Amino acid sequence: MKKYALKITSVFLGLLIGCSLLFLNACEKDKNSASPAIASEQPSATISAIQNEPITQVLSVLNIQKLDDGTYKVVFNKNAEVFTVSDPFLLSELQTALSTNRKLKITFNPWQALITNVEKLTQNEILLYDGKNVKNTGGTAIKINANEPFENLDTDARLSVVNTTSPGTGLVNVVPDMATAQLMFNYLTKQCCALPGPYGVDYCISFQYADDGCYARAHKMCYVLNNKYHYATHKIFSFANAGSDVLSVQAQKWGGCCVNWWYHVAPLVSVKTPTGVKSFVFDPAMFDQPVLLSVWLHAQENPVCVSWGTGNVSMINIQPTTSYAPADYSGFAFDPDPFYVDTNNTLVSYSNLLTCP
């Protein structure tokens, strides 16, 4: 009996030691496998979209507008691209979703800017996607006067030093010089999914796909600027949300095709220059260096790419870094993404896509 008890005790001790070793090995594995890259919340089971294949997303319809040719312009809460639809059934479903404030599964071809299918959510999906988020409101919203040069905004006192931070954040409000700003910009550019890596962030940034995803790119860039370089940031949102306005952009870095957005967003950083502190936009999807706000806005009114509507910026809104994507068509309310779940899902989904087919 004692021999049997001793055997049981030995087995128990062996299991205990084995489990302890497994636990320690697992911890060591996690420690060793942890990427030196800046990490944030892991994405759910999102796979990369396929070039020239339709994409399906769960979205809210924010605005529907009839165009002169009889088709309808449709924009959504998150996706920056402007889509058209002519099918009466699809249009009816979209109009119902807009009037009832319900999300739909939208299937679209981003390279042709066409909606190809809509599908209602199941009850479980409604519970998952229709939850109410705390929304950011306010900011510094400025209506754009078509007769006023964008260059006036570069010296606008409301935009000169926007990155004032609360004590204890550890963030520096103003970048000391353009050389430092360019160094940070170059680091961000190297995280582009079109480059082979290795990357210094947890998920490469899809700069090479300009049709959509600016909200995820901006959110990740701000994360890097705040956590790697410890500089404060805001976000600059531009909107084409009045009349027939549309943002018209030529993707000169990615093949030269035209892209139309109803809004765009990028990090806004305060930089000390020989003529004073100015706000610069960090947008590697469009430029090779930080640019003044006027340059960024001019690029969104490219007359070559106005195939319908009016290629105008209607308004801009300076938002805190926490604002992720527009919550409505007004340009005054924004959904957050505090745990970077949607950010990372979007970057993964768009990682293999290219702007010009």
- Check residue 331 and give its pLDDT: 96
- Domain end position, chosen among 72, 107, 129: 129
113, part of any domain: yes
Whether residues 62 and 103 fall in one domain = yes
Q: Domain residues for 187?
A: 136-349
CATH number, domain containing residue 298? 3.10.620.30
- 103: exposed, middle or buried (C-beta count within 10 Å: 0-12, 13-18, 19+)? buried
Tell me what pLDDT residue 131 has.
Answer: 60
Task: Write out residues in the chain with pLDDT < 50, as ranges.
Answer: 1-36
Same domain, 125 and 140: no
Residues 240-299 pLDDT 10s: 999 999 999 999 999 999 999 999 999 999 999 999 889 999 999 999 999 999 999 999
Q: What is the dihedral of CA 42, 44, 47, 52, to 10 degrees?
A: -100
pLDDT in the model for residue 308? 81
Q: What is the pTM of this model?
A: 0.87
Q: What is the CATH number of the domain that holds 102?
A: 2.40.50.340
**Residue found by looking up tokens 């699809």 in the block:** 90
User: Which of 103, 129, 155 represents a domain boundary (last residue)?
Assistant: 129
Residue ranges with strand state E in the chain:
55-59, 61-66, 72-76, 83-85, 104-109, 114-120, 136-137, 140-143, 234-239, 247-250, 258-261, 263-273, 276-281, 291-292, 315-320, 323-326, 333-336
| Residue 165 confidence (pLDDT) | 64
Q: What does the chain come to in residues?
A: 357
